Structure 1
Amino acid sequence: MDTEQDTDHPVDIAGLAADDHGAGTDAAPLLLVHGLTFDRSMWRGIVAELERIDPARRTVAIDLPGHGRSPDQPAYDLDTLTAQLHHVVEAAGLTAPVVVGHSFGGRLATSYAAHHPARGVVNIDQPLDAAPFATFVRALAERLRGPGFRAVWQMFYDSFHVELLPADAQDLVRSTSRARQQVVLGYWSQLLTQPTAELTAMIEQETAALRASGAPYLYITGDEPKPGYARWFGEHLPAATVEVWAHSGHFPHLVDPQRFARLLAGLGR
């Protein structure tokens, strides 16, 4: 799971490594944000399919700080990352993109659209209610910060159910997952240290901003949401669309790249 990869030559956009495709059309550009420990190569099969059916569509896929070819940095808090994402949008000349994020990238896409103009959000398998996950992560804090990190991360990785993916997608996930302790701890620093009430208030403010903006919000998950979370999500984002792509684990977008590309092609028009 700690395989070096990504030997290509990305472009630099606002200090982050990126793949930038398409001349642009009247449709909203797509900003693609991978999840924690992965990198922008996660999107390449999908972008290839999108180029086939919507060849001029502008897509920008970034490596988040500390991932792929983007450099490490001192802080990975959500405010810092949201601001960096906006710098990318401005530097790339993207106007009100549809922000597509997987896992932690879905959380970051949500934050971005709550603070900046966006034509929509696609959140792939990232629950927004932070309190339960924060409680779980804090119970593991000592092991995460110590020599037990690798074993704990393996537990998280196993929960992704990579075995549900087609063979080529399994290879992609396994070859691009690079779990570095300091980077993971940096991205989870708020979960580990910020009071739960503050985490809850943050997401309530963001979902209120999204309701006010009217930006379309699509949540794609590999499993039927549990009733409690379904109620929470429906109360906070009542206009959102929820799609369950069954038997896909944590990577519904990789089960059928053609289907996912067709979905993206229809957004932001």
Structure 2
Amino acid sequence: MSLAPSAKGTVPFKEFETWYRVTGDLDSERPALVLLHGGPGSTHDYMLNMAELSELGFPVVHYDQLGNGGSTHLPDRGAAFWTVKLFLDELDNLLQGLGIADKYVLFGQSWGGMLAARHASKGPEGLRGLVIANAPASYQLWLREMKVLREQLPEEVNATLLRHEAAGTTQSDEYFDAMRVFYEKHVCRLSPWPRDYMASFMEIYNDPTVYYAMNGPSEFHVIGTLKDWSVEECSADIEVPTLLISGRYDEATPATVQPFYDNIPDARWEIFEESSHLPHLEEPERFREVMAEFLKGIA
């Protein structure tokens, strides 16, 4: 079955623009599947293969969050500008702008999963289901588990990372090379990295404004404004059917996902045994099967 044609455009948001792409028909009887990418400060590119889910009759909406990709870039805005509320407001605006606020499903990956969880906890009437993929319930848990994973790296690699983090030289080539060792183990285990993932990776590298402000210089050195942020306390307020996804080698370890499973009333959890942080790329066939079962159950 061939994919339905995709439509691209922008939705005005404040004085800015949010870029989006729709695969399928938004007038479908089935809810739209809206994809929230990670980062913060990444792009939709690494999630492009999820457009195939439109074959199930669910229109798929990709979008680039403000600050990166096809949306408005704001490299001169400081950390105070980049808030969780900004991105929640942008999501609400996108749903209204596309006319799907009355019937939609959210898929949030990594940071996008936390953002989707906070949105869902507010009880929006049009939300039919939620997927939280490869996301921690809090950055406190994330940082605790990052320490565990880093200590499993070769001693010289972690020593290099620690030395540059202490010196504030995390933009050096040596830090980048040592960082790749962690990423190849806990972010994407495919070799070489898929083109779609590389596209998003380089988008962050080319404009790290949002990522540096909210996260920090790497996945495991979170020193930005999100370092104390949590959605653990509001996850019990999520009332829609929820699918949790993580990989066996994921940087989002089971300990970081457990609060979602414990607190969300209607949650199921699928662990992908051959994946790290990107099961949709690392185990695409099983990923499609799991998603198809979940989506058909809430249609």
Bin for the TM-score computed over the shorter chain = 0.7 to 0.9
Aligned counterpart, 2:209: 182
Give the deviation of 1:144 after TM superposition.
Answer: 9.5
Higher deviation after alignment, 259-268 or 238-247:
259-268
Aligned counterpart, 1:128: 137
| Aligned sequence identity (%) | 21
Aligned counterpart, 1:5: none
- In 2, the alpha carbon distance for the partners of 1:158 and 1:30 equals 33
Which runs of 5 or more residues in structure 1 are unaligned? 1-7
- In 1, the alpha carbon distance for the partners of 2:284 and 2:226 equals 37
Higher deviation after alignment, 31-40 or 246-255:
31-40
Matched residues, number: 249
Give the deviation of 1:233 after TM superposition.
Answer: 3.6
- In 1, the alpha carbon distance for the partners of 2:69 and 2:166 equals 22
Relative contact order (C-alpha < 8 Å, sep 6+): which is higher? 1
Residue correspondence of structure 1 range 73-152 to structure 2 within 5 A: 73=74, 74=77, 75-94=81-100, 95-115=102-122, 116-117=124-125, 118-133=127-142, 143=165, 146-149=168-171
Asked if 1:171 corresponds to 2:195, the answer is yes
Aligned counterpart, 1:223: 248
Amino acid at match of 2:53: L
- In 2, the alpha carbon distance for the partners of 1:153 and 1:126 equals 23
Q: Is the 8 A contact 2:133 2:246 kept in 1?
A: yes
TM-score (norm: length of structure 2): 0.70
Q: Structure 1 residues 203 and 45, CA, compared in 2 at 3 Å: closer, same or farther?
A: same
Q: Is the 8 A contact 2:113 2:132 kept in 1?
A: yes
Amino acid at match of 2:9: V
Q: If you compute each CA radius of gyration, which structure gives the higher value, 1 or 2?
A: 2
Q: Structure 1 residues 80 and 222, CA, compared in 2 at 3 Å: closer, same or farther?
A: same
Give the deviation of 1:61 after TM superposition.
Answer: 0.5
Q: Is the 8 A contact 1:102 1:123 kept in 2?
A: yes
Q: Is the 8 A contact 1:77 1:186 kept in 2?
A: no
Q: Give the helix-richer structure, 1 or 2.
A: 1
RMSD (Å) for aligned C-alpha atoms? 3.4
- In 1, the alpha carbon distance for the partners of 2:19 and 2:287 equals 23
Give the deviation of 1:153 after TM superposition.
Answer: 6.3
TM-score (norm: length of structure 1): 0.77
Q: Is the 8 A contact 1:160 1:250 kept in 2?
A: no
- In 1, the alpha carbon distance for the partners of 2:254 and 2:226 equals 27
Give the deviation of 1:257 after TM superposition.
Answer: 3.1
2:194 partner SS = helix
1:93 partner SS = coil
Q: Structure 1 residues 128 and 22, CA, compared in 2 at 3 Å: closer, same or farther?
A: same
- In 1, the alpha carbon distance for the partners of 2:43 and 2:257 equals 29
- In 1, the alpha carbon distance for the partners of 2:167 and 2:36 equals 26
Q: Is the 8 A contact 1:35 1:102 kept in 2?
A: yes
Q: Is the 8 A contact 1:46 1:260 kept in 2?
A: no
Give the deviation of 1:113 after TM superposition.
Answer: 1.2
- In 1, the alpha carbon distance for the partners of 2:266 and 2:283 equals 26
- In 1, the alpha carbon distance for the partners of 2:111 and 2:178 equals 17
Correspondence for 2:284 among 254, 257, 261: 257
Q: Is the 8 A contact 1:19 1:40 kept in 2?
A: no
Aligned counterpart, 2:72: 71
Give the deviation of 1:254 after TM superposition.
Answer: 1.2
Higher deviation after alignment, 173-182 or 152-161:
152-161
Amino acid at match of 2:98: A
Give the deviation of 1:183 after TM superposition.
Answer: 1.8
- In 1, the alpha carbon distance for the partners of 2:84 and 2:254 equals 27
Give the deviation of 1:109 after TM superposition.
Answer: 1.3
Which runs of 5 or more residues in structure 2 are unaligned? 1-5, 148-161, 217-221
